[in-house]
Structure 1
């Protein structure tokens, strides 16, 4: 009987130990994945900030609102495949030159700079 209890205790201890991890699931400092918005360290040891990783794209859509007071243009745009955005209506910051050309209801092509997931319209053209 003692032998059976000792065997059961030993088996329970081994099974419990097998289910535990020696290290925590998430590291204390998560590593950035390729193309992630986190800063990365270059080969020479210099770090690049996420703000430095701007992308440019172009899109097409219809202007639904213009607000010069806060320098924004709202555009109901088609999909922008180069940055993986589906068709939607979005409010964008806009350059002064783009604001001067913008009018509600205009169908446009536009140039876009994207940083940290937010876009800024840098130029608009009639479409």
Structure 2
């Protein structure tokens, strides 16, 4: 019994010195470091964001809403078929967008929603 306790204590010390947390015993709750939550959220957010590129024709520009609507070709990187959809866009992109322009665009996609980060004549 004492040998088992010493082995368990030694194992916990080895894990602690490596910066790893031991799994909690059955019935105990895991305690997470407060600094780990922001890092995990940032990693999750970065993993959820995807960069894609598209091409299409601008069909509407709404500076008040901060959107540009594009009838775009398929965007394979995010498995989107050709369609017309509105994208969030910053003021610099909106200034460059004009209805009827054929464009290529850089896109950041999070949770199925896209934001145009750059726009180029095509």
Instruction: Please indicate the TM-score interval, normalised by the length of the shorter structure.
Output: 0.5 to 0.7
Pairing 1:66–2:61 present: yes
- CA distance in 2: counterparts of 1:98 and 1:122, whole angstroms: 7
Instruction: Tell me how large the CA RMSD over aligned residues is.
Output: 1.8
Q: Partner residue of 1:86?
A: 81
- Normalising by structure 1, we get a TM-score of 0.61
- Structure 1: unaligned runs, 5 residues or longer: 1-43
TM-score by length of 2: 0.63
1:48-59 to 2 correspondence within 5 Å? 48=41, 51-52=45-46, 53-59=48-54
Report the alpha carbon displacement of residue 95 of structure 1 after superposing the two structures with TM. Answer: 1.4
Deviation at 1:56, TM superposition (A): 0.6
Contact 1:93 1:119 in 2 (8 A): yes
Unpaired runs of at least 5, structure 2 = 1-35
The separation in 2 between residues aligned to 1:64 and 1:71, in whole angstroms, is: 14
1:39 match: none
